Amino acid sequence: MIALPLTLMAASVTLAWDPSPEPMLSGYSLYWGTNSRAYDQIQLVELNTVQASATNLVAGTEYFFAVTARTWEGLESDYSTEVSYQVPEQLTLTALLEEATDPAGPWALVTNAVTMVVPAEPRRFYRTKMEVK
């Protein structure tokens, strides 16, 4: 059995909103940052899409989010109601590798643990179990 320490470095969150009734809508903008109403990140979102993900969020940090609607004329609405998200503290996982004879299973998903298959070499598989510590 081999033990490998793994660390989760960044997180993401997906936000969704109600569509704008604006007939000349060209899309949305998702804004976020670590200070309320002082956003330093933006993601342009396509027309007819009412969700987006903010990625590479730092563990243990609170982020603030708002959305605007954009028109084909280049106009932008006021910010939506702001929401916030506290990224959970950094998690350290320990992966225990042991040779598995059957790559198809059995596998289990249990609270605070996930099991997966990692192909090591042809016709040899290892079962990996990661537990939150």
Q: pLDDT tens across 93-121, in order?
A: 444 444 445 555 444 433 344 444 443 34
pLDDT at 109: 37
Please give the distance of CA 83 from its chain centroid, rounded to a whole number.
16
| Domain 10-86 architecture | Sandwich (2.60)
What is the model's pTM? 0.62
Output helix, strand, coil percentages for the chain, rounded to the nearest 5. Answer: 0, 60, 40
| pLDDT value of position 85 | 93
Residue 11 has pLDDT above 80, yes or no: yes
Residue from 5, 1, 20, 11 nearest 79 by CA: 20
pLDDT digits (tens, 9 = 90+) for 20-67: 988 899 999 999 999 999 999 999 999 999 999 999 898 889 999 999
Mean pLDDT of 114-131: 43
Where in the chain are the domains?
A: 10-86, 91-132
**For position 79, what pLDDT does the model report?**
95
- pLDDT of 88 reads 85
> What was the pLDDT predicted at 115?
42
